[in-house]
Amino acid sequence: MSGLNLDDFASLIERPDAVVRRDAEERRERLAPRPGALGRLDELGEWLAAGQGSVPVKPVERPRVLLFAGDHGVASLGVSGGPEAGAQELVRAALAGESAAAILARRFGAGLRVVDMALDCDPGAFPEDVTRHRVRRGSGRIDVEDALTAEEAEQAFRTGMAVADEEADSGTDLVVLGDLSVGGTTAAGTLIGALCGTDASVVTGRGSAGIDDLAWMRKCAAIRDALRRARPVLGDQLQLLAAVGGADLAATTGFLLQSAVRRTPVILDGVVSAACALVAQRVAFRAPDWWLAGQASGDPAQAKALDRMALNPLLDHGVTVGEGTGALLALPLVQAAAALAAELPERS
């Protein structure tokens, strides 16, 4: 890959400030109610303080929901319960403010941004600010062919990095990360299965739409075949994303790594963001210190990826709709943790 050295991320990404975190812990010892009474909210407040480098922690005032969108050729095998017209329907609902994520984002005061990386539709169907980063029209069918060329994988990865810089430069102080895809969970299961060394059946979930048993078997077979193609390129994360990922997944991976460089905290949603996070961890082992797992989606691949990264989901409400919805439900918890850490009085 010309000019893009992933090894640089290992040195560019620093952990959240450990000294500040100790200061936040010491401050919490003096506050009411007593330490431990607020459960994980204490931990979240200290995590935010370390990321911000600030005690007391600053409020989360400019959160952003970021959704990378794309279609995957493997969906043609009947492995997804998503819309027949593809992810464009999901994008249209999100932009119209009618999706679950859009409604919650509006309620919680979070901006919502959709980035088209590989929708299988005419780019004129959506505003230019949505489609200007598109790499290709749909990603390849990963059971029999590469999702992307090497050049497309690099372009998508760089797009994710550029979006991370745009968000950091605009003052976004926390990102809720999700996806709008059809077939994306199949690619995600393949990435996680390859990186964790497991069989297809272990990482084949039923997707956001809850596919039936026949579709699950087709999905399992597709992941099995894609895993055979993934294993020879495990040593090169960009090649892996090109082989069995997709433009939206490559962009998400680049976004996660550059967000860690820019010290922007991220809440992960479902299995797609978890798969990209696992790839990113292979690039830079400190990067997961900047991420929270918003929810347990019930997908076995997501559970395996989060366990590998030692990320404990904040919520487990059985939300499978995807699109950033489950992670958005965790946003008020993070905001509450910041407010309590900053505003609780000291014990007399």
In the residue annotation, 343 being an active-site residue is answered as: no
Other Cβ atoms within 10 Å of 191 Cβ, number: 33
Q: Are 267 and 174 in contact (CB under 8 A)?
A: yes
Q: Which long-range contacts (CB under 8 A, 24 or more apart) does 126-130 make?
A: 126/88, 126/91, 126/92, 126/95, 127/95, 130/69, 130/91, 130/95
Closest CA to 77 of 175, 197, 158, 185: 185
Which of 152, 154, 323, 346 is flagged as catalytic?
323
Cα–Cα dist 257/150, whole Å: 19
Q: Which of 25, 13, 16 is nearest to 51 (CA)?
A: 16
268-297 burial, b for 16+ CB within 10 Å, e for fewer? bbbbbbbbbbbbbbbbbebbbbbbbbbbbb
Q: How many CB atoms sit inside 10 A of residue 147's CB?
A: 34
Ramachandran angles phi, psi of 110, nearest 5°: -105, 135
Tokens of 304: 């395996």
- Among all residues, which ones are annotated catalytic? 323
